[in-house]
Amino acid sequence: MVIRFLALLLLCQLAGESITLRLGLPVPGPVIGMVILFAGLMIKRGVPAALGQVSNSLLQHLSLLFVPAGVGVMLHAGKLADQWLAVVVALVVSAVATMAVTALVMSRLGRGTEAKP
């Protein structure tokens, strides 16, 4: 029953959106929805096969879902043309620094904390 679990994902998102709106949280609805589904899985202690199927098919091509927002670059062609050097250098420096800092801290502190097999 793949449809049932697709409905479940949408239901979690809907609940997440409602909670964010209601409480005025700075976190987006789908992230709260993820927390709700996660809590459900913890209670149920397992992932139903059909849910695994639905989430795999959505996540397998996760990056496709970012394409429409990415095409929005054409709306800002003018602004980016004026400041492209500042923006590009800032993005590259920041991406490299963030990736390096996070990975280094995590691999230092994470040493010896692997779960026992």
Partner 1 sequence: MSSGLRDIWVYLSASPLLHLTLTLLAYVLGDWLYERSGRLPLFNPVLIAVLVLVALLSITGTDYATYFEGAQFVHFLLGPATVALAVPLYRQFDKVRHSALALGVSLAAGSLTAMLTAVAVAAALGADRDTLISLAPKSVTAPVAMGITEKLGGLPSLTAVLVIMTGVLGAVLGSWIFSLLRIKDPRAQGFALGVTSHGIGTARALQLGELAGAFSALAMGLNALATALLLPLLYRLVS
Near partner 1 by CB under 8 A: residue from 2, 10, 18, 49 = 10
Site for partner 1 in 57-86 (CB under 8 A): 58-76, 79-80, 83, 85-86
CB 12 within 8 A of CB 33: yes
CB 39 within 8 A of CB 15: no
C-alpha to C-alpha distance for 8 and 28, rounded to whole angstroms: 18
Q: Provide the 8-state DSSP code for 28.
A: -
Query: Nearest distance from residue 49's CB to partner 1, in Å?
Result: 11
Query: Nearest distance from residue 1's CB to partner 1, in Å?
Result: 16
Q: Is residue 6 within the footprint of partner 1 (CB under 8 A)?
A: yes
C-alpha to C-alpha distance for 38 and 31, rounded to whole angstroms: 11
Near partner 1 by CB under 8 A: residue from 22, 23, 81, 114 = 114
Q: Is residue 99 within the footprint of partner 1 (CB under 8 A)?
A: yes
